Amino acid sequence: MEDKKEIQITGLNERQIFGMEYMQYTTEVNRRTEEVQHGNEFKYEIHGKAKDDPEIEIISLNTEGNTTTVVYHDLDKFVITHTKSGKLLDVIAITPSGWSQKSVDLISPEYKAPETHEDFMTYQQIDVPQKECVISAGRNIGNKKLYDFIVKRSIWNTLVARFIEEVGDPLNKEGIQGMRDSVLYRRQEVLDALEGKTNEDPQEIALKSYKVNS
């Protein structure tokens, strides 16, 4: 209860409170994200910055217990472009109201073991309670296949967020499977439009209602 009272009084979330404590010992925290990565099929561009009181958290990277400290950046740009068709998908514009797109960057990366860097390279998640889609940033993997993987997973996470906001969080196995089938179908529609396999606008496809038959 004390933690909740503290958050209510300060107006800060738990990450910002931890960030304030962390920043008492260092100023070496990257405040901005600006990244362009080229895959075989897709290019993506992200841009964002940390809050004035930066959100800092210790995250788990895998089931083996590898953790690391990261700073969160709120993204104001996340654009996916298909390398051949030139078609675009503005991920921020298709993110449902109340949700945010964030990137995380390693704090003090020079001190991290190579295994931490490897695990962090493709760190992504959708946090339903906090209504966030999160992508790792600042790590130049140099692996074009992995960049394409990041793009497809980012589209998936954002479409799941749209489904949850429109239809609701699934309550049972049947509901979960129904959500997965719907999002998988919608993502393929978006990818086909991005690749130029159809004449449809990928942006309009991503914004279609899940309550209307495709």
> Domain boundaries in the chain?
30-207
Measuring CA to CA, how many Å separate 166 from each of 50, 153, 177, 185, 202?
A: 29, 20, 16, 16, 19
Return the pLDDT at 33: 87
The model carries a pTM of: 0.87
For residues 74 and 18, what is the distance between their CA atoms, to the nearest angstrom? 17
- From first to last of its 214 residues, the chain has per-residue pLDDT tens of 445 444 455 678 888 887 888 788 776 778 888 889 899 999 999 999 998 889 999 988 876 778 888 999 999 999 999 999 999 999 999 999 999 999 999 888 888 888 888 888 888 999 999 999 999 875 667 788 888 999 999 999 999 999 999 999 988 999 999 999 999 999 999 999 999 999 999 999 999 999 865 4
Kindly write down the DSSP assignment for every residue of 167-212, as one continuous string: H----SHHHHHHHHHHHHHHHHHHHHHHTTSSSS-HHHHHHS-TTS
pLDDT at 10: 63
Q: Judge residue 162's burial from the number of C-beta atoms within 10 Å of its C-beta, 0-12 exposed, 13-18 middle, 19 or more buried.
A: buried
Predicted pLDDT at 156: 97
